[in-house]
Structure 1
């Protein structure tokens, strides 16, 4: 079996999909936050303010820096109608989809600075049904979606793992990592994958730039696309043709002669995560304790439903591939 984890052609583009501005609870204006990410070598940015869709493509975008129209939609379970305490929350990104998705949208496409009211609940809710309805509505508006920071959101597993139609789950959120250590969650991603869901992952900043915690340039995706334009970048995300990272780089990965392999920047550990049986997968760990691994391999046993790779340096910074789905290929 031979499968490439990335397309053979294309250029690497770095971007942040989760970003806030003064249009919601961020400190920087949209033009200021766009300039900041451009200065730090990013190629694209989704300005995704709370419950407010924005489209700054013409105003802030250029041939070398792409703005993805987006919003972070909300459904909130409050303890009671005083709205003093939030018990759980669904945050789902809607990012403007491909031309075909826009053409086939059942509802009107969102317009610039359109308010998308949060769904509010008190005391109790059917969390799974609420999440699915929110996801479905965003899709009907021509968006791709990501399910954001479930640990921070305090949602129970059964309130989101069966959601259908999400492109990706946010497994690393730099802002909430530094705010309250609630930003890492690959566990529930694997639960979803083991259930047979074909869902990808993203790392992001969730930056507010308010100075309370460090929340910029710590989580991102690196997309391999033919061009730096909306259609190519979004299609690459839909196809899973990218990796997520909090630091390390992944240059190539895939399966060659039934052996999973990865080539990466210097790391301390490589995890080959596989489903679906106990003891599936394997690890390659540096014997020196240093970041001296740049290539690793793992021979597949033939019963894996999927395989994905994590590359982690000695400081704990990680890069994640998306899965290669194997069930049904043999």
Structure 2
């Protein structure tokens, strides 16, 4: 998906004077002044390089064929470089998948060894497979790693995106210290390399490893997963523990009280399983981000992500998100037979929790973010079912990023 929008709120008369002065048509002027692109991408997925069950080339082809413009293949504590061989399970499903891989890419590409029932395949490196699919303004890959550390048996995972080199997990004396040390490792590499780079916290509720209190104590963290498509990560929490959306709001209330920047919410696949579709498996195509950027490059994408100029989705497609002069405006793409509910959610200064400030039935709505608000965001709920959902999260949803009164304009 790649859609384009103009960004002006000028009257037609004002436009006329501008066009006469500029000597171009209205269509040309819109492109020259304010056109940006929406790029769809997944920032968390796995392959045979760690605990996924498919070759990276096949995974990248699936994402490109299914309308994604960027992907971060983020295997655990490894980057796709050097030599690595994988044994293919004897199950007919995996052997048939290997044969399909061989047929698609040919003997000249696939290096493998077969001895009796044993089948081993040499994996292609990032530098080998990325050029197969990268295409200017159509598809890019972001070199990535899931830094997988732990503390007292708790899995503490962070994704580092657009990395320059592999980051070895750092240890620490507590959950917070381990997370902070690894956040710092990414930020240090970014500083040293001069390369645009981002880090985000993965699935805090996976084995209930990371609490709200842990998240609040972090410094330099700008992103976390408000939705993760793995069936074991407890997106919705339970009777005693917060789900990710509630956690997100409490974190931002605490961050703003401490003078820290807002935390932004990502939706990701965390896909591992590519041969069977099931609510009990970590499949592709469940969660993604859609980023508005000037061009499809790592620097432009990360710059827009850090501005909050993106939305997270499990299926809802937005035609526009704008924020200017304290007015947050949302428009979902109309679809026959589909209805939308827009919930504007926020927190006023001095309050300790968010509330639903306004509900709109329809595909578009707006909310004025007064000076008495800490932040406001919008959740868009569709009547359309999500394909292959997890945790009974059956309806397609999208989340815009929180905005503050007087904050930086979006989409203008």
Please give the TM-score of this superposition, normalised by the length of structure 1.
0.79
Corresponding residue number in structure 2 for 1:81 = none
> Aligned pair in 2 of structure 1 residues 25, 298: CA closer, same or farther (>3 Å)?
same
How far did residue 166 of structure 1 move? 2.0
Q: What is the 5 A alignment of 1:148-297?
A: 148-154=202-208, 155-175=210-230, 178-179=231-232, 181-182=234-235, 185-195=244-254, 196=256, 197-210=261-274, 211=276, 213=281, 215-255=283-323, 258-266=326-334, 267-276=339-348, 277=351, 281-286=356-361, 293-297=362-366
Q: Deviations over 1:65-100 (max 9, x none)?
A: 10001001022124xxxxxxx3x2221111126xxx
Q: Deviations over 1:19-78 (max 9, x none)?
A: 100000001111111111111111110000011134544465232210001001022124
> Aligned pair in 2 of structure 1 residues 217, 193: CA closer, same or farther (>3 Å)?
same
Corresponding residue number in structure 2 for 1:69 = 143
The structure whose residues are more often helix, as a share, is 2
Tell me how far apart the structure 1 counterparts of residues 56 and 281 of structure 2 sit (CA, whole Å).
20
8 Å contact 2:320–2:330 — kept in the other structure?
yes
Gaps of 5+ in 1: 79-85, 98-108, 287-292
Corresponding residue number in structure 2 for 1:101 = none
Tell me how far apart the structure 1 counterparts of residues 306 and 63 of structure 2 sit (CA, whole Å).
23
Look up the SS of the partner of 1:313 in the other structure. strand
Matched, 1:144 2:198: yes
How far did residue 256 of structure 1 move? 5.6
Larger relative contact order (Cα-Cα within 8 Å, sequence gap ≥ 6): 1
More deviation in 293-302 or 161-170? 293-302
Corresponding residue number in structure 2 for 1:24 = 50
Pick aligned residue for 1:320 from 379, 382, 399: 399
Pick aligned residue for 1:13 from 39, 43, 56: 39
Over alpha carbons, which structure has the higher Rg?
2
How far did residue 146 of structure 1 move? 0.8
Q: Deviations over 1:223-246 (max 9, x none)?
A: 111112222222222222211100
Tell me how far apart the structure 2 counterparts of residues 169 and 8 of structure 1 sit (CA, whole Å).
29
8 Å contact 1:305–1:327 — kept in the other structure?
no
8 Å contact 1:223–1:243 — kept in the other structure?
yes
Tell me how far apart the structure 1 counterparts of residues 404 and 344 of structure 2 sit (CA, whole Å).
13
How far did residue 9 of structure 1 move? 2.6
Look up the SS of the partner of 1:52 in the other structure. coil
> Aligned pair in 2 of structure 1 residues 70, 214: CA closer, same or farther (>3 Å)?
closer
Gaps of 5+ in 2: 1-6, 9-32, 81-125, 191-196, 237-242, 386-394
- CA-atom RMSD in angstroms: 2.7
More deviation in 66-75 or 147-156? 147-156
Look up the SS of the partner of 2:143 in the other structure. strand
Corresponding residue number in structure 2 for 1:104 = none
Tell me how far apart the structure 1 counterparts of residues 184 and 227 of structure 2 sit (CA, whole Å).
24
Look up the SS of the partner of 2:148 in the other structure. strand
